[in-house]
Chains A and B, each alone.
Chain A
């Protein structure tokens, strides 16, 4: 009798295990992505979508992905995020800063759904945040610009004066001044992440004012295309934009979310997912540089050397002494800017023209 019941128990355990295996195999995990721009912006959103495709490729039939593009930051995003959460999506990536509070609001109502918010600073039990140290790439771009520029003037097409963008401008100039102390930056704010018309006009105005290097912190290739047409140089934004500017692109700071998305989606499926705050750079491969093109061999070599130094940790783009616009030392010689200063950066370093909109 005892053996019989023992066998029966074993049988029961096995059949439950078998059933649940079948269950797992059938139930694909739904993964949602919320984009601020169109997937065809060839910049920010385009790269997030490449990350989504990487998840599909890596996890195949285990998952099914959904995306919603061109979602306005504000009330619309809350509805879209909630719609994804209530239609069975188990992991939701919200890929713009403005989705922060909407993501947290929805996350409160769906404790079993994992949320990943890009570039924000608020976490909760089921909301993790991630961002990349784009400023590392900006510094390398600055070094190249300092070597290539003849007018010593960089034109910078910027979106919104948030810390991430200000950090990029400063890193770019620090890089440029590390090889050419005469370099200056003029900034035009277009108050948009994606507005090809405005971005292009801003680039034209900057070139008319004597800039011979165009850098951008907006998502379309328009500024780079203007640089190509006007015979000056520039850098791609978020993705390799060489096909839009074969003669003008010096390099591009490429956002690479692929590994992160695959890893985090896997973690959500196997249950090891935990809320975290991630800020990866060149070292972890979240920031990559597109091939160094349209420059002499020694500039190329210098760029590669700089990239390697940042990757290995030998060089920090924000190493002292750093002066702000008034000439006050904000980072002492021998020190590097701390995380608080980097995350909340709201001053221009010496050499940036104009004043920071506040």
Chain B
């Protein structure tokens, strides 16, 4: 692993003997500050007042109650999925298919809501939520099975299953679940009120899903920091062979990682559908499952970090919309900001883990 990389003829990047934990935590914060500085340069080049632009992008959305509730609405799915993924990533289990598990959560839960369309009972909502979560778990179980049984690469299987899930949902709303009164347009009926998550703040879209996200963050924190299972997950990720000698069952941990991350993605999916959308559409996610991968790493794979990272990511979306409305910035600036942020994060991480050194001759790799 610890190999020196040739950088410039006279510079080499070599791994630091000790990686500072403090700097690993500071690295995303430095990346954010560097991103803001780049923002100032970009906005100036675009001919906008850079400070006004940064204000409309990052501060103004937080000055109204509506803005804050929308931030939480947008952040909820990112945090729910991100926390689950982070648990798996810690254990070196690479679930890249949260988008599919999210969609299956929406399919199972949304399907239940449509089935119970005429039931006027407070039991409908819990049923919808449980089945939605179950949908995500089932979809996460497939790559776990393929990995533990056939040693199939979970990155590929989980990613490819995402497309299957998205097309499955598309089939359902184009066909059997299409609203009969909807002129054949591919949308389901609107859910009944009994299948909708209650709104927390009057006149906003903030619903119970946000509360789930916070509870999940706390639960994941306790799981990872205080339980033997969390310990096992971390050891498997850091030192797989040590975990093996200690007798930890690797396949069990793979299953666990997939069931947790799949279940949380499924919960995020059904919370989105029965919280903000209110019906099934051909596509229920603008890529939350993939964005959450970034969120997990930005949050240092720590549940609390993921919470903040999810909110920052959500702010970048909402700020982008706000900047379009208020000062006519192009939509592409949002994507640009997210790209710059990731670039700086990776760059900072490299500098935390490696250092430059002057050397005219490569000494080659050092072994542990």
Contact A74 B175, CB 8 Å, known A344-B183, A344-B184: no
> How far in angstroms is the closest Cβ of chain B from A329?
21
**For the complex, is A160 an interface residue (Cβ under 8 Å from B)?**
yes
Known pairs A109-B203, A357-B174 / 12 extra A-B pairs, C-beta < 8 Å: A74-B284, A75-B73, A75-B276, A76-B74, A76-B286, A78-B276, A79-B321, A101-B190, A163-B183, A163-B185, A343-B183, A346-B184
Return the CB mask of A328-358 against B: 1 if under 8 Å, else 0: 0000000000000001111000000000011
Whether the pair B205, A74 counts as a contact (CB closer than 8 A) is no
Q: Report how far A121 CA is from B328 CA in the complex, Å.
A: 30
Residue from the list A76, A82, A86, A98 in contact with B317, Cβ < 8 A:
A76
Are A160 and B184 in touch, CB under 8 angstroms?
Answer: no
Residues from chain B with Cβ under 8 Å of A98 in the complex: 281
**Cross-chain contact A160 with B325 (CB below 8 angstroms):** no
Tell whether A83 is near chain B: CB-to-CB under 8 Å.
Answer: yes
List of 6 A-B pairs having minimum Cβ-Cβ separation, nearest first: A72-B286, A75-B276, A344-B183, A358-B175, A346-B184, A70-B331
Q: How large is the interface on B (under 10, 10 to 19, 20 to 34, 35 or more residues)?
A: 35 or more
Tell me if B330 and A69 are in contact (CB < 8 A).
yes
With A and B bound together, what is the CA distance between A72 and B331 in angstroms? Answer: 12
Chain A contact residue count (CB 8 A cutoff):
37
Bound complex: CA of A32 vs CA of B167, how far in Å?
Answer: 33
Interface residues of A in 53-83 (CB under 8 A from B): 66-76, 78-80, 82-83
| A97 surroundings in chain B (CB, below 8 A) | 185
Q: Which of B66, B73, B171, B283 is most buried by chain A, counting CB atoms within 10 A of its CB?
A: B283
A5 is an interface residue with CB less than 8 A from chain B: no
Contact B186 A75 (CB under 8 A): no
A84 adjacent to chain B (CB < 8 Å): yes
25 A–B contacts from the bound complex (CB under 8 Å): A66-B324, A66-B328, A68-B321, A68-B324, A68-B325, A68-B331, A69-B330, A73-B281, A74-B277, A74-B284, A74-B286, A75-B73, A76-B317, A79-B73, A80-B321, A80-B325, A87-B325, A87-B326, A101-B279, A161-B186, A163-B185, A191-B282, A344-B183, A346-B184, A357-B171
Count how many pairs of residues, one from A and one from B, have CB atoms less than 8 Å apart in the complex.
Answer: 86
Chain A residues with CB under 8 A of B282: 160, 191
Per the 8 Å Cβ criterion, residues 100-154 of A in contact with B are 101, 109, 121
Chain B 312-364 interface residues, beta-carbon cutoff 8 Å to A = 317-318, 321-322, 324-326, 328, 330-332
The CA of A78 and the CA of B321, in the complex, are separated in Å by: 12
Residues of chain B in range 66-121 having any CB-CB distance to chain A below 8 Å: 66, 70, 73-74
Against A, the Cβ 8 Å flags (1 = close, 0 = not) of B181-199 are 0111111001000000000
Any A CB within 8 A of the CB of B272: yes
**Given A69-B330, A357-B174, A78 and B205 touching (CB < 8 A)?**
yes
**Which chain B residue lies CB-closest to A84?**
B325
Q: Find the A residue at minimum CB distance from B171.
A: A357
| One of A66, A73, A163 near B184 (C-beta < 8 A) | A163
- Flag whether A162 is at the interface (Cβ < 8 A): yes
| Alpha-carbon distance between A346 and B184 when the two chains are bound, in angstroms | 7
CA distance A126 to B152 in the complex (A): 55
Q: Which of B284-328 contact A (CB under 8 A)?
A: 284, 286, 317-318, 321-322, 324-326, 328
Decide yes or no whether B135 CB sits under 8 A from chain A.
no
State whether B184 touches A345 (Cβ < 8 A): yes
Q: Are A38 and B331 in contact (CB under 8 A)?
A: yes
Distance (whole angstroms) from the CB of A351 to the closest CB of chain B:
21
Shortest distance between the CB of B148 and any CB in chain A (Å): 33
A contact residues around B174 at 8 Å (CB): 160-161, 357-358
Q: Which residues of B contact A67 (CB under 8 A)?
A: 324
Q: Does B278 contact A (CB under 8 A)?
A: yes
In the assembled complex, the Cα of A41 lies from the Cα of B284 at a distance in Å of 23
CB atoms of B331 and A69 under 8 A apart = yes
B257 interface hit (Cβ, 8 Å): no
A74: chain B residues within 8 A (beta carbon): 277, 281, 283-284, 286
Query: Quick check: A83 and B321 within 8 Å, CB to CB?
Result: yes
With a 10 A CB-CB cut-off, give which of A73, A76, A344, A346 has the most chain B CB atoms.
A76
Rounded to whole angstroms, the CA-CA distance of A6 and B159 in the bound complex is 82
Closest A residue to B322 by beta carbon equals: A83
Q: Return chain B residues, CB-CB under 8 Å to A162.
A: 184-186
